[in-house]
């Protein structure tokens, strides 16, 4: 191990981050309070869907952090060792995300069964006059789309994510104290079982929470679409944290140009991966031209009278903003290693990930003609307050964990290679 690693700075004392954590929590409470105001302004269904966007957005980022740590360990990577610790702090948000998801479950079972997911109410009236309980497509999926399965699976998702996170954090933090290689092997075992568990849980979470909002729709690409957004969001947050800690001086002498170049290349790779998955989904559905699949895109393009709705332009924003803009920007070596530029790309990526989730969730809100409500409207306000509310709690959880251990994994066997990372 290099002398640099041995003398690496500890994370800042608790009192230096307590103020920032308190501010983040206060911002979170303000966001939550403003979202609650929306209940009286726009009604519970619209606010509930907005809250679903906010919770899913931050949960996706936490899942992405978890998957990146698992991938790091399964490949025994070296360059990402100094960055991994910040993702480990981010995992502390899972228990709070589970708590923040709970109001959606309670509202669905104790306020209005179909407030979010129509299939939870068998008497929910569908287009054409018949109900969910008499819908042949629902009856074929009833064993999966059932209240018991929904509650049990959602609880299992968070339990599994929290369990994997606890194992990863315990091994990594403990190794700082004793340097025992058993913690490295423990994390490899966790990664070996955690990757399939993570892949399955994030896929089923995307299906239960988002795709089942319009349960008639069918797509085999949905799990990998969600995975791509999870990782892109996590990488964007990672870049923002790296630049923040560099500017404060914490990681100067620890991070080098090649670390920024490597994480930028990884963000570029997942940009291409997202584009491949999303294009494949659209092309296969367009080519097959099956009504049970095409209606999902029709709602996001046309009104009942054939006019173009706002979601058509949102789709174009996603096409260019989620792929072309970051793709061409990340092709540049200079953009990837220039801190203020790569940070702007990261913020842009986070914004478009949020827009993509809105595109998948909010069009289920319809007017009396069956047209999706516009993107630019009062509903977007509650989405933003929800994102701020949930985000404030997540940032607070990260900052609470931040001073509890070393800034980097100083006794990881790969720390020396990470500190001297080169292309």
Specify whether the CB–CB gap between 223 and 202 falls below 8 A.
yes
Determine whether 239 is exposed, middle or buried from the number of CB atoms within 10 Å of its CB (0-12, 13-18, 19+).
Answer: buried
Cα distance between residue 105 and residue 151, in whole Å? 8
pLDDT in tens, 224-259: 999 999 999 999 999 999 999 999 999 998 999 999
Cα distance between residue 375 and residue 46, in whole Å? 12
First to last CA, the chain: 20
Those residues whose C-beta lies under 8 Å from the C-beta of residue 81, and which sit 6 or more positions away, are 72, 408, 409, 412, 414, 415, 417, 418
Percent share of the chain, pLDDT over 70: 96
Q: Determine the average pLDDT of the residues in 402-415.
A: 95
Angle made by CA atoms 373, 100, 224, in degrees to the nearest 5: 65
Which stretches within 300-421 are classed as H helix? 310-319, 325-330, 333-337, 339-361, 378-401, 415-419
Cα distance between residue 314 and residue 366, in whole Å? 17
Specify whether the CB–CB gap between 264 and 337 falls below 8 A.
yes
pLDDT of residue 47 exceeding 90: yes
Which pLDDT value is given to residue 10?
47
Cα distance between residue 39 and residue 30, in whole Å? 15
Cα distance between residue 46 and residue 124, in whole Å? 17
Looking only at Cα atoms, what is the longest distance across the chain?
Answer: 73
Specify whether the CB–CB gap between 386 and 56 falls below 8 A.
no
CB atoms closer than 10 angstroms to residue 316: 10
pLDDT in tens, 104-114: 999 999 999 99
pLDDT in tens, 169-187: 999 999 999 999 999 999 9
Specify whether the CB–CB gap between 376 and 9 falls below 8 A.
no
pLDDT in tens, 269-295: 999 999 999 999 999 999 999 988 899
Specify whether the CB–CB gap between 372 and 311 falls below 8 A.
yes
pLDDT in tens, 194-233: 999 999 999 999 999 999 999 999 899 999 999 999 999 9
Which pLDDT value is given to residue 127?
78
Closest of 242, 58, 246, 40 to residue 161, by C-alpha: 58
* β strands within 89-128, DSSP E: none
Those residues whose C-beta lies under 8 Å from the C-beta of residue 378, and which sit 6 or more positions away, are 41, 42, 46
Closest of 418, 404, 422 to residue 91, by C-alpha: 404
Which pLDDT value is given to residue 423?
58
Which pLDDT value is given to residue 378?
86
Reduced to 3 states (helix: H, G, I; strand: E, B; else coil), residue 375 is: coil
Q: Determine the average pLDDT of the residues in 328-337.
A: 97
Reduced to 3 states (helix: H, G, I; strand: E, B; else coil), residue 308 is: strand
pLDDT of residue 15 exceeding 70: no
Name the phi and psi angles at 376, rounded to 5: -85, 95
Q: Determine the average pLDDT of the residues in 51-75.
A: 98
Assigned token pair, 129 = 């006059």
Specify whether the CB–CB gap between 203 and 196 falls below 8 A.
no
Which pLDDT value is given to residue 130?
87
CA-based radius of gyration for the chain: 22
Domain boundaries of the chain, sorted by first residue: 3-419
pLDDT of residue 12 exceeding 60: no
Which pLDDT value is given to residue 422?
83
Q: Determine the average pLDDT of the residues in 305-332.
A: 96
Which pLDDT value is given to residue 1?
39
pLDDT of residue 3 exceeding 60: no
Cα distance between residue 277 and residue 225, in whole Å? 6
CB atoms closer than 10 angstroms to residue 157: 23
pLDDT of residue 360 exceeding 70: yes
pLDDT in tens, 81-111: 999 999 999 999 999 999 999 999 999 999 9
Q: Determine the average pLDDT of the residues in 303-332.
A: 96
Which pLDDT value is given to residue 4?
43
């Amino acid at each position: 191990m290099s002398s640099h690693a041995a003398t690496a700075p500890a994370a800042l004392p608790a009192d230096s981050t307590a103020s920032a954590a308190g501010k983040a929590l206060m911002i979170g409470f303000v966001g939550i309070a403003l979202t609650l105001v929306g209940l009286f302004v726009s009604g519970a269904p619209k606010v509930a869907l907005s809250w679903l966007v906010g919770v899913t957005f931050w949960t996706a980022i936490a899942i992405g952090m978890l998957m990146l740590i698992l991938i790091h360990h399964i490949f025994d990577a070296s360059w990402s060792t100094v960055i991994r610790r910040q993702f480990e702090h981010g995992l502390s948000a899972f228990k709070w995300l589970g708590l923040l998801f709970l109001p959606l479950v309670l509202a669905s079972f104790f306020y209005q069964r179909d407030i979010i997911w129509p299939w939870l109410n068998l008497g929910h009236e569908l287009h054409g006059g018949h109900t969910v309980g008499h819908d042949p497509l629902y009856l074929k999926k009833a064993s999966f789309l059932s209240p018991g399965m929904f509650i049990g699976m959602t609880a299992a998702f968070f339990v599994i994510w929290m369990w994997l996170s606890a194992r990863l954090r315990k091994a990594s933090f403990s190794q700082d104290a004793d340097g025992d290689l058993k913690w490295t092997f423990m994390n490899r075992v966790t990664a070996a079982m955690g990757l399939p568990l993570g892949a399955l849980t994030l896929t089923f979470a995307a299906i239960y929470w988002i795709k089942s909002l319009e349960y008639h729709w069918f797509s085999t690409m949905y799990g990998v679409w969600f995975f791509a957004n999870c990782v892109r969001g996590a990488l964007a947050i990672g870049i923002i944290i790296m630049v923040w800690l560099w500017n404060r001086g914490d990681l100067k002498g620890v991070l080098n140009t090649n670390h920024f170049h490597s994480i930028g290349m990884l963000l570029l790779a997942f940009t291409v991966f997202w584009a491949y998955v999303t294009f494949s989904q659209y092309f296969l559905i367009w080519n097959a031209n099956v009504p049970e699949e095409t209606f999902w895109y029709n709602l996001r393009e046309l009104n009942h009278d054939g006019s173009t709705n706002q979601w058509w332009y949102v789709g174009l924003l996603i096409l260019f903003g989620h792929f072309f803009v970051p793709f061409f920007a990340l092709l540049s070596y200079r953009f990837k290693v220039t801190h203020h530029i790569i940070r702007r790309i990261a913020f842009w990526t986070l914004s478009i990930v949020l827009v993509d989730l809105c595109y998948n969730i909010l069009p289920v809100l319809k007017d009396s003609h069956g047209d999706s409500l516009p993107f630019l409207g009062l509903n977007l306000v509650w989405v933003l307050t929800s994102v701020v509310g949930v985000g404030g709690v997540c940032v607070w959880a990260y900052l609470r964990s931040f001073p509890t251990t070393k800034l980097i994994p100083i006794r990881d066997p790969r720390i020396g290679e990470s500190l001297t990372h080169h292309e």
